[in-house]
Chains A and B, each alone.
Chain A
Amino acid sequence: MAQVLDTPKAASPASDPVTPAERVARRKSLLHWIAVHSLGVAAALFFVLPFVFLLLTSLMSDQQALTRDLWPHPFEWSNYKEVFDTPGFLTWWRNTLLYAGLGTVLTVVSSLPVAYALAKFRFRGRHLSLMLVISMMMLPPQVVVIPMYLFWAKQLDMSGTLWPLIIPMAFGDAFSIFLLRQFLLTIPNEYLDAAKVDGCGEFRTLLRVVIPMAKPGIAAVALFQFFYAWNDYFGPQIYASENPAAWTLSYGLESFKGAHHTDWNLTMAATVLVMAPVIVVFFFAQKAFVEGVTLTGVKG
């Protein structure tokens, strides 16, 4: 490549408008481009190869998956059918969708008014409330699990279901409140004042003005919450483990490995099936997602 840049100079030195200094700079920037992009490709391989290996193994026969082969021969597409035919697999899907779907709706509906109050109302204890929200966000769920388990299992007799995980989401989720608040802070007060001049109360302002403007923030929260429930292992382990009919994909997947001992091909096919929906959703909602990460991470 560097040679290509050199040739015109050598052929017609007089007519070439590029000075030697510029030429050096150009060559340097080209080398820089090559170096950066080679590093980029190397990093991309590190991030992508594990997915590729999983995918390839999921298409091998059970015998081949135990060899050092990297390429499936022949391709066993029936592995995926076998995973779907595993007793319980479809139930885990249904439970996961219920937990993630209903949980997400409840979280957004209950967190939005709280975030709005924290972002836009001035009241005594506002700073304290925000600090408490952040503390709740940082609290490992294991800290309060013993009394919570006793509460749900012994007093309300709800163990063996996912309700102890879904119901609390109707009472605001600290992370969602925090993320939404960060987003609502970016909405200029003039819009809210204008709505009030038009005779809207706070509730109608929230519905008519704030929600339409906060759509990207709401999308980010919904996505995070959906993935949280999809990925949750500890919650189902505590409340649903005794009843396989209530298992979720993340919880069932691990038992799948247990039930199939050394059938790495089937385990990897199931793993791919648990990862795939998350990745598909991400491709459709990439912008909202990245925005959400940035919002919670960085001071404005």
Chain B
Amino acid sequence: MSTYTLRSKRRRSALRTAAFMSPWLIGFCVFFAYPLISTLYFSFTSYDGFSAPEFSGLKNWSYVFNDYPLFWPALRNTLWLVLVMVTCRVIFGLGIGMLITRIKTGTGVFRTLFYLPYLAPPVAATLGFVFLLNPGTGPVNSILGDLGLPTPGWFTDATWSKPALTALAVWGVGDLMVIFMAALLDVPKEQYEAAELDGASAYQRFRFVTLPNISPIIMFAVVTGIIQTMQYYTQPLVAGKVASGVMGGSGQQFEPGYPDKSTLTLPQLVYNLGFQRFDYGSACVVALVLFVLAMAFTALLMRRRSGLIQAGE
């Protein structure tokens, strides 16, 4: 009798859990698991969206890796962005975070001003930067020219387009500033006092007190930065389109990556292959490469020992 009631109680609690979880359970199946399996399947087929998909083995895979002219440039750009853009954002975010914890007058105003660009809608912010950095009449080059400094072509020059995107990303560093600010305020004050008593210089206090305390947060910022770079789409695409003078909107053909493939990223290839060339099979190959990269870094983030994402009890 008692085992029976226990079992029915368990069943009721399982039903209750299922009911609360149900929106996500459906969402997980329909918008994650099914399309993921489907993507894997399509990657082995020839499919243009009109005639039925036809099994073609590794043809798409070999095409993407060996013959698709945009794949390796996009991967190289991604590597560049991970090395330079993520690094700049983390260093700058930490610097601004340290600055804001030291500002004693008007802290709220400064914090708001520092944070604001992070909120600027990406399309609007990118358009703004393409204007600010336009080589002919843009205010930035006007000022640089007046100061006798070189005036690069920014978004119209393959050497300078990624640095220009980096400037845009550094401008929107507000998210990292807030995270670092919270972490810096969490460092125990006694450790700084002890270090000062020992005669530690400002650099030594940073190196031996601040850094060890906030290193998990730096790690978090780097890994999420890399994952964001895998998803980097709107800014490079809009910058390339607008700088090249191609009209936006429907029906416009645009070879992505202007200038000279320098702003290509992996997500743009999915769009290029799938929605411009109607080669859904090859688009799915790139999608899977993107999936593997994103999940590899997510796994790093979730490693329990790293403690970056609290499991919670």
Contacts and interface: CB of A to CB of B under 8 A. Distances in A.
Given A36-B99, A54-B128, A139-B291, A144 B23 contact: no
B82 interface: no
A63 to B, nearest CB: 11
Nearest to B283: A146
B116 A250 contact: no
A116 B132 CA distance: 46
Contact of A44 (B28, B113, B119, B241): B113
A255 B178 contact: no
Given A66-B137, A68-B142, A138-B295, 15 more contacts: A48-B116, A66-B136, A110-B23, A117-B21, A143-B270, A143-B294, A144-B35, A147-B39, A168-B27, A202-B16, A241-B249, A257-B127, A271-B127, A275-B120, A297-B175
B44 interface: no
Contacts of B195: none
Nearest to B40: A147
A133 B42 CA distance: 25
Interface stretch (B83-91, B204-212, B230-238, B255-263): B230-238
A269 B37 CA distance: 45
Nearest to A39: B99
A251 B252 CA distance: 14
Contact of B110 (A40, A121, A233): A40
A47 B123 contact: no
A131 B312 contact: no
Contacts of A140: 230-231, 233, 267, 290-291, 294
Contacts, number: 288
Contacts of A44: 110, 113-114
In the complex, which range does the number of interface residues on chain B fall in?
Answer: 35 or more
Contacts of B79: none
A298 B217 contact: yes
A116 B280 CA distance: 39
Interface of B: 13-14, 16-17, 19-21, 23-24, 26-28, 30-32, 34-36, 38-39, 42, 49, 96, 99-100, 102-105, 110, 112-117, 119-125, 127-129, 131-132, 136-137, 139, 142, 171, 175, 178-179, 182-183, 216-217, 220, 227, 230-231, 233-234, 237-238, 241-242, 245-250, 252, 266-267, 270-271, 274-275, 280, 283-284, 287-288, 290-291, 294-295, 297-298, 301-302, 307-312
Contacts of B216: 299
B121 A275 contact: yes
B85 to A, nearest CB: 16
B68 to A, nearest CB: 16
A80 to B, nearest CB: 15
Contacts of A231: 121-123, 234
B231 to A, nearest CB: 4
A67 B137 contact: yes
Interface residues of A, number: 103
Interface in A54-83: 54, 57, 65-68, 70
Q: Is the interface of A mostly helix, strand, loop or mixed?
A: helix
Contacts of A172: 23-24, 27
21 contacts: A47-B117, A50-B171, A66-B137, A123-B17, A134-B298, A135-B298, A140-B233, A142-B231, A146-B39, A150-B49, A171-B23, A171-B24, A171-B30, A231-B122, A244-B250, A254-B249, A257-B248, A275-B120, A279-B119, A298-B183, A299-B310
